[in-house]
């Protein structure tokens, strides 16, 4: 036997409100309109409807809880049409918004990409974005009718675009609102199609829009520009434009959110004796830093607030300058002589001379 509580995903002591909520969610999930091409959706909808019919009625629920037989009308038999079930739940005024969705289709969403350098991403910037979308036809103003032959009001629906359908069901009369089939929900009939767009009211076109990109934007961020996508059918809302931001990597910096890492290579003498360095910043200005004598490999100098701006917040990240010490792989005779003199002049590191280490290793 099917567990109706499990079907709706509620506990055995669920309140009527919880059961109603759970069924609304299930019904939306399994409504055939939301699952085109899925033959199991109808079956799952039937199960959910049956479970709701039992659990929402206190007498039936009590009988079911006792393990008794629950009586139904033939609306819930597997032979009843799914349409009747749908109008029972969606046409009867429960307000799910399904089955009663006449009207023109919305326009499609479109995508575009913008490429920024890291420096450009470090300050507020504006870009002109070009993309292709369906735009209202200029010849007919988006109506789809040829000039001189305006669209006529649909005589079947009186221009509303929808018609009411009354059905007799198990629990009485159910009213369904359906899109008008004569005008396909548009409310108007085009007698002479516009020659430029063929009656569609829209043509594919290249569009330009100026996009403001906030400082600190990350690679891969997406911005949505509401209503900047393709136009819908006449009267339908337009789609949205999604702009993907690509921030081209800068070889001088490794980005970690708002912080930037810049790596410098120092020779052993510079690290040991100390030196001055000039490092780049993302704004283009160079910054002088002082490397003190005895700087170790991996030392990081933090330049506060020289990183990327924090997106939509105050402040900036830091610029971290990491020191790499490079040991020379080939020496000139003069360098070799100098290094030997250095080695014999005293211990080169706190651990003692290289000879001392060798001995310990044996
Ligand atoms: Zn046109
Ligand atoms: Zn109509």
Please state, in angstroms and rounded to a whole number, the distance separating the CA atoms of residues 160 and 102: 9
Q: What pLDDT is attached to residue 354?
A: 47
> Is residue 324 a contact partner of residue 267, using CB atoms and an 8 Å limit?
no
Q: Could you tell me the distance, in angstroms and rounded to a whole number, from the CA of residue 196 to the centre of ligand 1?
A: 5
pTM above 0.85, yes or no: no
Separation of CA 12 from chain center: 37
Which range, 173-177, 199-203, 289-293, is most confident? 289-293
Q: What pLDDT is attached to residue 94?
A: 36
Instruction: Please enumerate in sequence order all residues whose Cβ is within 8 A of that of 313, keeping only pairs 6 or more positions apart, or say none.
Output: 216
Q: What pLDDT is attached to residue 353?
A: 47
- Percent of the chain exceeding pLDDT 70 equals 83
Q: What is the pLDDT of residues 245-285, one digit of tens each?
A: 999 999 999 999 999 999 999 999 999 999 999 999 999 99
Q: What is the pLDDT of residues 156-173, one digit of tens each?
A: 999 888 888 776 654 556
The residue ranking higher by pLDDT, 359 or 181, is 181
Please name which ligand lies nearest the alpha carbon of 194: 1
Please name which ligand lies nearest the alpha carbon of 200: 1
Q: What is the pLDDT of residues 3-16, one digit of tens each?
A: 889 999 999 999 98
Q: Could you tell me the distance, in angstroms and rounded to a whole number, from the CA of residue 233 to the centre of ligand 1?
A: 12
Max alpha carbon distance in the chain (Å)?
107
> Is residue 325 a contact partner of residue 296, using CB atoms and an 8 Å limit?
yes
pLDDT above 60: residue 103 = no
Average pLDDT, the chain: 84
Please name which ligand lies nearest the alpha carbon of 135: 1
Locate CATH 1.10.287.110 in the chain.
4-90
Instruction: Provide the CB-side half-sphere exposure for 166 (13 A, CA).
Output: 2
At 324, phi and psi to the nearest 5? -110, 135
Q: Could you tell me the distance, in angstroms and rounded to a whole number, from the CA of residue 189 to the centre of ligand 2?
A: 8
Q: What average pLDDT does range 209-216 have in this prediction?
A: 94
Instruction: Please enumerate in sequence order all residues whose Cβ is within 8 A of that of 229, keeping only pairs 6 or more positions apart, or say none.
Output: 107, 108, 109, 110, 133, 238, 239, 240, 241
Q: What pLDDT is attached to residue 361?
A: 38
Q: Could you tell me the distance, in angstroms and rounded to a whole number, from the CA of residue 186 to the centre of ligand 1?
A: 16
At 55, phi and psi to the nearest 5? -75, -20
Query: Can you tell me whether residue 278 is helix, strand or coil?
Result: strand
pLDDT above 50: residue 25 = yes
Q: What pLDDT is attached to residue 321?
A: 98
> Is residue 244 a contact partner of residue 111, using CB atoms and an 8 Å limit?
yes
Q: Could you tell me the distance, in angstroms and rounded to a whole number, from the CA of residue 169 to the centre of ligand 2?
A: 26
Q: What pLDDT is attached to residue 74?
A: 52
- Look up residue 315 and give its two tokens: 């402040």
Please name which ligand lies nearest the alpha carbon of 187: 2
CATH fold of the domain at 254-348: HSP40/DNAj peptide-binding domain (2.60.260)
Query: Can you tell me whether residue 86 is helix, strand or coil?
Result: helix
Q: Where are the beta strands (DSSP E) in 137-274?
A: 152-153, 162-169, 172-179, 188-189, 202-213, 222-225, 241-248, 254-256, 259-267
- Tokens 């009843």 correspond to what residue? 80
Please state, in angstroms and rounded to a whole number, the distance separating the CA atoms of residues 355 and 353: 5
Q: What pLDDT is attached to residue 92?
A: 43
pLDDT above 90: residue 225 = yes
Please state, in angstroms and rounded to a whole number, the distance separating the CA atoms of residues 180 and 175: 15
CB neighbour class for 303 (10 Å; exposed up to 12, middle 13-18, buried from 19): middle
Q: What is the pLDDT of residues 28-52, one digit of tens each?
A: 788 776 777 777 887 888 888 888 8
Residues with CB under 5 A from ligand 1 (ion): 137, 139-140, 194, 196-197
Q: What pLDDT is attached to residue 108?
A: 92
Q: What pLDDT is attached to residue 84?
A: 65
Locate CATH 2.60.260.20 in the chain.
254-348
pLDDT above 80: residue 79 = no
At 116, phi and psi to the nearest 5? -125, 145
Burial 11-37 (b: 16+ CB within 10 A, else e): eeebeeeebbebbbebbeebbbeeeee
Q: Could you tell me the distance, in angstroms and rounded to a whole number, from the CA of residue 153 to the centre of ligand 2?
A: 8
- Residue 40's alpha-carbon distances to 25, 92, 98, 176, 192, in angstroms, are 17, 24, 19, 24, 43
Please name the CATH architecture into which domain 4-90 falls.
Orthogonal Bundle (1.10)
Query: Can you tell me whether residue 242 is helix, strand or coil?
Result: strand
Q: What is the pLDDT of residues 278-328, one digit of tens each?
A: 999 999 999 999 999 999 999 999 999 999 999 888 899 999 999 999 999
Closest to 262 (Cα-Cα) out of 247, 275, 277:
277
What pLDDT band is residue 99 in, cutting at 50, 70 and 90?
Answer: very low
What pLDDT band is residue 77 in, cutting at 50, 70 and 90?
Answer: low
Q: What average pLDDT does range 107-127 have in this prediction?
A: 95
Q: Could you tell me the distance, in angstroms and rounded to a whole number, from the CA of residue 103 to the centre of ligand 2?
A: 10
> Is residue 151 a contact partner of residue 175, using CB atoms and an 8 Å limit?
no
Q: What pLDDT is attached to residue 80?
A: 57
Q: What pLDDT is attached to residue 44?
A: 84
- Look up residue 277 and give its two tokens: 């360095």
> Is residue 236 a contact partner of residue 104, using CB atoms and an 8 Å limit?
yes
Q: Could you tell me the distance, in angstroms and rounded to a whole number, from the CA of residue 188 to the centre of ligand 1?
A: 15
162-169 and 172-179 beta bridge pairing: antiparallel
Q: Could you tell me the distance, in angstroms and rounded to a whole number, from the CA of residue 101 to the centre of ligand 2?
A: 14
pLDDT above 70: residue 358 = no
């Amino acid at each position: 036997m099917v567990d109706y509580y499990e079907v709706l995903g509620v506990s055995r002591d669920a309140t009527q409100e919880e059961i109603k909520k759970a069924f609304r969610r299930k019904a939306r999930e399994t409504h055939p309109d939301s699952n085109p091409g899925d033959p199991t959706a109808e079956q799952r909808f039937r199960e959910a409807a049956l479970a709701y019919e039992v659990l929402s009625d206190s007498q039936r629920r009590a009988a079911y809880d006792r393990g008794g037989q629950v009586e139904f009308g033939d609306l819930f038999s597997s032979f009843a049409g799914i349409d009747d079930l749908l109008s029972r739940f969606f046409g009867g005024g429960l307000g799910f918004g399904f089955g009663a969705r006449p009207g023109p289709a919305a326009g499609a969403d479109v995508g575009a990409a913008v490429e920024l350098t890291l420096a450009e991403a470090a300050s507020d910037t504006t870009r002109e974005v070009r993309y292709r979308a369906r735009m209202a036809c200029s010849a007919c103003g988006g109506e789809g009718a040829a000039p001189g032959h305006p669209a006529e009001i649909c005589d079947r629906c009186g221009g509303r675009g929808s018609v009411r359908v009354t059905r007799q069901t198990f629990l009485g009369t159910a009213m369904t609102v359906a899109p008008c089939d004569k005008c396909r929900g548009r409310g108007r009939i085009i007698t002479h199609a516009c020659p430029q767009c063929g009656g569609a009211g829209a043509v594919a076109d290249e569009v330009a829009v100026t996009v403001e990109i906030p400082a600190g934007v990350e690679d891969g961020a997406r911005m949505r520009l509401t209503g900047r996508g393709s136009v819908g059918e006449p009267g339908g809302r337009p789609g949205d434009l999604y702009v993907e931001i690509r921030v081209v990597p800068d070889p001088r910096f490794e980005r970690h959110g708002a912080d930037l890492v810049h790596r410098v290579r120092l020779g052993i003498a510079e690290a040991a004796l100390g030196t001055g360095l000039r490092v780049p910043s993302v704004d283009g200005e160079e910054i002088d830093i002082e490397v003190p004598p005895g700087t170790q490999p991996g030392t990081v100098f933090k330049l506060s607030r020289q990183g990327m701006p924090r997106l939509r917040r105050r402040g900036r990240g830091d610029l971290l300058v990491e020191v790499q010490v490079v040991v020379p792989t080939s020496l000139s005779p003069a360098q070799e002589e100098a290094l030997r003199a250095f080695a014999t002049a005293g211990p080169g590191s706190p651990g003692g001379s290289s000879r001392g280490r060798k001995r310990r290793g044996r």
